[in-house]
Amino acid sequence: PGELGAALALREVIQRRAELEQWVLRGSDGELLRLYGLREVAAVKPLYRLLEGGDLLNTRSNERLEADHATGFYLDSHGNKVAPGFTVFAGTSNFAKVLTDPSIRGPFLEIFVWTVAFAGLTVLFTLAVGLVLASLLQWDLVRGKAFYRLMLILPYAVPAFISILVFRGLFNQNFGEINLLLNGLFGLRPDWFSDPTLARSMILMVNTWLGYPYMLLLCMGLLQAIPRDLYEASAMDGATPLDNLLKITLPLLIKPLAPLLIASFAFNFNNFVLITLLTRGGPDIIGATTPAGTTDLLVSYTYRIAFQDSGQNFALAAAIATLIFLVVGALAWLNLKLSKVKV
């Protein structure tokens, strides 16, 4: 006791670091020493000391930090917030802020409307493209159906994140092949990533490409289940192809497709990967006090508030996430109700 033993090997120090950090040594002058590095100890003192009323005292500069119990942050002498703060009960204040603060309510409503429109239009476009292609593949005059099926379903085999990154390069304003083609044919070079309308149109086009093979597979299976006698009878009555579509095909497809369409809507309602990899939410909404972009969905908007663009407003992000949960929960309930089979 009282004598130093052989020094530990560096590997053993690393393995036992958690244990060594709990040790407290007393120096010759009475100072308490703790492990500071792998091979050294130092006097470690707490930077802040808690005062009465919840305020903090900086032991190094003797500056008093006032506790703001309304926001959960400490304020320095200039009124600036000092991170990380402390926990306070906010109640429903963040929900009220979403509905009453114009700088938050405006971007939130714009993003909410765009999220619903994006999910709805994606379902509509993918269903339309998938149904048209499936109908063409059912046509008896088409030869080489197996080859066409393979080529049309091939985009479904490519991982979505790879396709999204490829499209990001294709839509590049200066070097993208799409703009090079448009410039050569019409003299146009659209700025897909800076114009809100063009950015949203680009997102819908890319998502339609990613989603139509799924609808194609569904429609191909359902079209094969429709009796051919119905079309033969309608042909004898002089029905047009449009009549067959509106009076035979769609009525027989919609009912079994309804739960799947709702599931597709819910998936695209929270399509975080597409927005993050393609536009990162941009272009930004002017005048918003929170990180918000014109192509943001609610889920990407929530993520940016909590983790990106110097947001770190976890309470507000949690409130918006609760609203997303309510919407998706309602869609799940509707899906279960529509898919319920009556015996």
What are the pLDDT digits (tens) for 46-96?
A: 788 888 888 898 888 889 999 988 778 889 988 888 877 888 888 888 899
- Residue 333 confidence (pLDDT) above 60: yes
Q: Count of H helices and E strands in the chain?
A: 14, 8
Closest CA to 20 of 6, 41, 46, 4: 41
Tokens of 57: 């005292």
Give me the helices (H) in 138-195, please: 145-157, 160-170, 177-186
Please tell me the distance from the alpha carbon of residue 166 to that of residue 209, in angstroms, as a whole number: 12
Alpha carbon distances (Å) from 219 to 131, 133, 177, 185, 286: 6, 9, 32, 35, 42
In the chain, % of residues over pLDDT 90: 50
Do strands 64-68 and 56-58 pair parallel, antiparallel, or not at all (unpaired)?
Answer: antiparallel
Determine the pLDDT at residue 309.
64
Q: What is the C-alpha separation between 221 and 251, in angstroms, rounded?
A: 15
pLDDT digit string (tens) for 22-44?
888 777 777 777 877 777 877 77
Confidence band, pLDDT 50/70/90 cuts, at residue 343: very low
> Is 2's pLDDT higher than 70?
no
And the tokens for 149?
């099926």
pLDDT higher than threshold 50 for residue 122: yes
Paired sense of beta strands 56-58 and 48-50, if any: antiparallel
Confidence (pLDDT) at 195: 96
Nearest to 266, CA basis, from 299, 217, 222, 307:
299
48-88 to CATH, choices 3.10.650.10, 3.40.50.2300, 3.40.47.10, 3.40.50.300: 3.10.650.10
Domain boundaries of the chain, sorted by first residue: 1-44, 48-88, 95-338
Among 168, 173, 201, which residue's Cα sits nearest to residue 189? 173
Task: Mention the CATH class of domain 95-338.
Answer: mainly alpha
CA–CA separation, 244 and 293 (whole Å): 43
Residue 241 near residue 155, CB atoms below 8 Å: no
pTM greater than 0.85 (yes/no): no
Q: Report the range of poorest mean pLDDT among 12-16, 162-166, 300-304.
A: 12-16
